Amino acid sequence: MALRVALFIPCFVDQLFPQVGLDTTAVLRRIGCQVEFPEDQTCCGQPAFNTGRWDDARPCAERFLQVFGSYEHVVCPSGSCTTMVRKFYPDLLQGESRQQALALGRRVYEFSEFLVRVAGVREVGAEFPHKVTYHSSCHATRELGITEEPRILLRNVRGLEFVEMQHADECCGFGGMFAVKFAEISSAMGDVKAANIEACGAEYVAAIDSSCLMHVEGILRHSNRAAKTIHLASILAAGAK
């Protein structure tokens, strides 16, 4: 049975990490999904919401409900943007919109969550012969409770050696505007994360959020460390026939 899936591509993935979107699509197609990309989508509103600009975030949320309202499964390669829809829309919206958000929130899935919990897939035929660790991003871990799904998928990749780092679920320090408004604190947190990554000896640090990876990558390169960052979707899309 082919699951019909609407892609929710976060704005910064669309703009800065297009390959993550393509890899997400490739993996979903490989497991037999019919993938659509509603081209009317823009941003979920999280930047405004997190800055306290709830009145500016609200129209984005209302718009999101219109664009995705008719889909049975919405899949997003980001734990944070999934959190925005599932957990924060009900705080942001009232009345009828809130009801719609609660209903849609149950059909919006983070990518690894969708693969493991909805599609029932634990292995996608990928090959990635490298030593990889996993950064358990905050929203995914503590708002959505996604901790095992990405690890299951990684452990089942051919040739991949999985290692845990210390404090894998500690924040990398990104936090959206926090990274810019409090750059000195954010980068110190990033530095602690980078040291933990280095200490576990991984070649790659994987995550399900490009935003965290963008920050960790920036810190790793700035501090001349060897480890590289990669989105889970790109590992799962690698090496398949």
Partner 1 sequence: MSTAAREFHRKAAEKAPDLVHRQVIQRNMVSYDIAVDKAKGRFRDWQAGRRRAQQIKWEAINNLDKLLEQFEAKILERGGHVFWAADAQEACKYVVDLARRRGVKTVVKSKSMVTEEILLSPALEKEGMQVWETDLGEWIVQLRHEPPYHIVTPAMHLSRQDISRLFREKVDPTIDTDDPQKLVAVARRFLRRAFFAAEMGISGANFLVADAGMVAISTNEGNARLTTSVPPLHVVVTGIEKVIPRLEDLGLFWPLLATSGTGQPITTYSTLIGGPRKAGEVDGPEEFHVVLVDNGRSRLLADPEQREILHCIRCGACLNACPVYRNIGGHTYGTIYPGPIGSVLTPNLAGIEEFHHLPFASSLCGACREVCPVRIDLPLHLLQNRRKVAESGIPGLAEMAGFKVWSWAMMSPQRYVFFGALSRMGMRMVKALGLSGSLLDPMRPWTKYRAALPAPRQSFRELWRKQRVVEKPE
Residue bearing tokens 């990033």: 190
Using the contact rule CB under 8 A, the part of the chain among 5-13, 94-102, 115-123, 157-165 near partner 1 is 5-13
Of 234, 232, 230, 209, the closest CA to residue 220 belongs to: 230
Residue 241 sits in the site that holds partner 1 (CB under 8 A): no
What is the nearest approach in angstroms of partner 1 to the Cβ of residue 161? 26
| Contact (Cβ atoms closer than 8 angstroms) between residue 2 and residue 33 | yes
Q: Where are the beta strands (DSSP E) in 100-174?
A: 108-110, 131-134, 161-162
Residues in Cβ contact with 175 at an 8 Å cutoff, skipping those fewer than 6 apart? 186
Residue 182 sits in the site that holds partner 1 (CB under 8 A): yes
Using the contact rule CB under 8 A, the part of the chain among 12-20, 95-103, 115-123, 147-155 near partner 1 is 12-20
Residue 52 sits in the site that holds partner 1 (CB under 8 A): yes
The smaller minimum CB distance to partner 1, of residues 133 and 186, is found at 186
Using CA atoms, how far apart are residues 29 and 186, in angstroms rounded to an integer?
A: 37
Residue 51 sits in the site that holds partner 1 (CB under 8 A): yes
Using CA atoms, how far apart are residues 143 and 199, in angstroms rounded to an integer?
A: 28
Residue selected from 5, 6, 8, 21 as contacting partner 1 according to rule CB under 8 A: 21
Phi, psi angle pair for 109, to nearest 5°: -120, 145
Using the contact rule CB under 8 A, the part of the chain among 68-76, 148-156, 165-173, 230-238 near partner 1 is 165-173
Residue 174 sits in the site that holds partner 1 (CB under 8 A): yes
Residue selected from 102, 103, 163, 177 as contacting partner 1 according to rule CB under 8 A: 177
Distances in Å between the Cα of 35 and the Cα atoms of 29, 57, 75, 89 are: 7, 27, 10, 25
Residue 41 sits in the site that holds partner 1 (CB under 8 A): yes
Residue 9 sits in the site that holds partner 1 (CB under 8 A): yes
| Contact (Cβ atoms closer than 8 angstroms) between residue 48 and residue 56 | yes
3-state secondary structure of 78: coil
**Which of the residues 78 through 97 are near partner 1 (CB under 8 A)?**
91
The smaller minimum CB distance to partner 1, of residues 88 and 160, is found at 88
Residue bearing tokens 């452990």: 155
Residue 101 sits in the site that holds partner 1 (CB under 8 A): no
**Residues found near partner 1 in the complex (CB under 8 A):** 9, 11, 13-18, 20-22, 25, 29, 34-35, 37, 39-43, 45, 47-54, 56-57, 59-60, 63, 91, 138-139, 141-143, 170-171, 173-190, 192, 214-215, 217-222
